[in-house]
Structure 1
Amino acid sequence: MAGAAPPPPAPRRRHGVIPGFGLTLGLTLLWLSLVVLIPLTALFLKTAELPPERIVAILTAPRTLNALKISFGLSLAAAAFNLVAGAVIVWALVRYEFPGRRVLDALIDIPFALPTAVAGIALTTLYAENGWIGSFLAPLGIKVAFTPLGIWVALVFIGLPFVVRTVQPVLEDLDHELEEAAATLGAGRLTTIRRVVLPAVLPAFLTGFALAFARAVGEYGSVIFIAGNLPNVSEIAPLLIVIRLEEFRYADATTIAATMLVAAFILLFVINGLQRWSESRTGRLG
């Protein structure tokens, strides 16, 4: 139509200062496919070749059920203990100054750096009946090494740093003025912790708990030395997978591995959900 103004030009797409999105995305997808997606897909495809009744028979075998119960049950118990112990340790590290605080803070990271086999040998040496700690427990009738209790001790050892390192930065960033304001308004210590501190750090605690639980479920190296590896008593699921492979029972191994992989995916979604919840809560509190 005559006299009509020309349409505004389409906005030009802004490019990043440093180009290369296509290349980096392609390399990322390639590496993820080679390292993660293809092996996991092959595992599921191998398991899918079995008839459903065969899969059910493998998973419902007493030895398999006991191994899964030990792995998941003791991992849950260890993560619950680490949640409580981690809360105490984090509170001491963040809120108090004392001699050796930096050393204690550094010691928390030892399970991250220590090879799992070394951790297993060290724990077995300590908690055996003639070990430094086990020799005091043996007269009381408490046997740790080569029992499910020993598995729990190993899982506590490797899972504690996940809770501490997840909660510590959140508690450090918590504004002390909120606690002072609560105290000014007449709130007691327990009320301040319950109404001010706990809501702010709860998502981090849940994330640390989930990470510790996920780490414990897949632990192998530190457990096999102290567990005793008795079938139906102290045998974990990852060890049973290795045993089935050594026996050339690949169907059993892949079925158990696929089951643990599904559990790992569920844990991954839970952890991601908790992290998003934690970020959203942190943003609202900020």
Structure 2
Amino acid sequence: MSEPIHEAVRPGVRGLPSLGRNLVDESLHRLQWNESPEDFPADLKEEVLQRMAALPWSRYPLGGRPWLLIDALAAQMGVAPEQVVVSEGSADLIKAVMAATLRPGDTVVMPAPTFLLYRQNARLHEAAIVEVALNAADGYALPVDTLAAAAQEAQARLVVMCAPNNPTGTVYAEAEIRRMAESIPGLLVVDEAYAEFCDQDLTGLLDLGNVILLRTFSKFYAMAGVRVGYALASPALAAELQKVVTVFPLSVFSEVAALVALEHRERFLAMRDRVVAER
């Protein structure tokens, strides 16, 4: 090829750091990743393996999407199946949301500090990033007015946040998040990776139409290594997100494991309670 390799790669990709081996010293406890201190229960692993033994491994997942899991999640969350988008973890869904919405030069507004993948994926799509600092003096409260003003000034395509916030752990009232969504010109993405640890249900926000909720099986269900996450949005918005998610978003194994976890939710509630008791 006549041009240097780096010239063939998008600027947003070239600007990201390279990831190699030995990224983390595996002899250390990786506290920064907030992995579950308890593993997926051994007897439930056996149940997953028994179900997998009865399924054909040579076939692609039926229907192109994990419909059994989608229906189970819709029933649990009290939404329509058309509002559920499943993929390989919420990290993959962050990438999908930004791929579906961002053009080079668009603006993404976010509080700081927050989950690092928001910034990384915004850079990937050559978006401008506006960060609004959280204040330790007021308990890292959500600066709704400042975030909304920044979004209005830049006509931001996205405002992104975590609830509860990562890494501060701050829990934000649903009314505050609703006011945020109602005050911005674009979409509000709310990463609820730790929602089960504060018993917060934000599905009532989906009536607004510009809210995307992201959830994961990595934390509460102790399945970080299995890679399962899902987004909740209006049917119209979910249909657009689905277009940028791969046609087979989960392996059969991942879907089976997630279904087993949902069927035994009470086991994971007990695990959650033990983690909370150790704070």
* TM-score normalised by L of structure 1: 0.28
Bigger Rg, structure 1 or 2 = 1
Higher helix proportion, which one? 1
**Structure (1 or 2) with the greater strand fraction:** 2
Highest relative contact order (Cα 8 Å, sep 6+), 1 or 2? 1
